[in-house]
Chains A and B, each alone.
Chain A
């Protein structure tokens, strides 16, 4: 009876919350109060797929859901991105019958990397995707090894790991396990022999701390690594990106599936590969996955094209306090051969909590914008001085940089400043301030 009432109340709260436009964590929170072990009292589907990692969780989960649904599977997933235990509880209970059975073929859970250990105490995933571990929100997360330890606590026997073979820290989760499913990229034409990053998180082996070498870097410290001492090295892959041409916007998976890219970034191809891998594991044919992923435009609002007066542009939502996320966006601007201007806004560091810390600006490789493809660089927001100080230590000529503490003034300046394409790079916390001044393309 307790289960029945808890599920009922969760569903009612979810319904009312939906009408009021409230978030999806409160119903789960109440349910957990009423019945702390409610998650272990529900009957779960054959596939319980969890996705965690620093970057790409939401996009990967969205693409997995899309592919599976298009191929006839029913999927329960946390599309609002409420990824702590309360949000996951809401997801599970609102997908369940009052008798306590989740009706879908697949339960797909995006999980916050620090809270996975609580969530998966009650729900053991059948498959667990770990995308990457980067410097991300360090003001809360500490550092990548701290997060590694938190995730390690959430991995239980009987769960099959699906790991990014190109991330040295993530790969360590697979040590000593026989049944890991590995995904990664072969040597790509866009690879470099030397590190391109403001810092090197692949300098030392995560296992024995001896120096590591790379035969190829995909981006930052993601690539083909090998320890010089203990033998730890990149694992061979089960599913791989075999080629990519970002200029033409095409990737190839497993040597035969060509997918055209709506978003021409390395990030995006890894998210697609992770989604492909999961769909293959669930039994979808590769050809069908490729068909669904071709020109797929993410619906989570992270990439938005816009019009500003006579100018066109794209907002690349990046994450403050996450240098690799910024590096990826900067790379898109750097490689835009038609030429572009770039707007960077740092106004509120986070939308969820207060911090005035901008140390992460020093981890971003802004020198990438010292490219013939990039014209004017407009820096804006409350922390414009910190941005300016950071750019002062790049090789970018000062006369190409414009500073505005006021975001509307920065946008006005761009509106009246030429006709080049605009890449706007900022975070969830600041993007609305920008979007309020432009016309979003439908």
Chain B
């Protein structure tokens, strides 16, 4: 994917991270299952058998995946309408979008959906390169308020009112 990068760092490739994560998941499934107490009064298999099977299979696939990546195998990065597949991955952007999302998660219950949701939209559109700040802010507020009214008042879905409790 990024030939210069893989050359520079020798055997390390970014995909190795994902392969090792899969391996870790396999080990975790096995280790986590060992703690599960087997009930005594069950006919047939207990709650451990299937997870051990799956954990074992994941670990085996994980080992093959790691080997494949180290030997230089790779998949095709997904193509999409808005993707520049040849561009190097911009991790800063991913971090920015992720940060905005996590901040939204932390603030949602206190601020309520209308404010937190509007801030989420505003933050993300700026992070993704929206040029008009004012327009982005207006759309954000309209969407935040509109979804709240439509889903809470219209469809009866449960969203937090937060600071605006009693106002709308």
Question: Do A and B belong to a common assembly?
Answer: no
Write the residues of chain B forming the contact surface with A, with a CB cutoff of 8 angstroms.
none
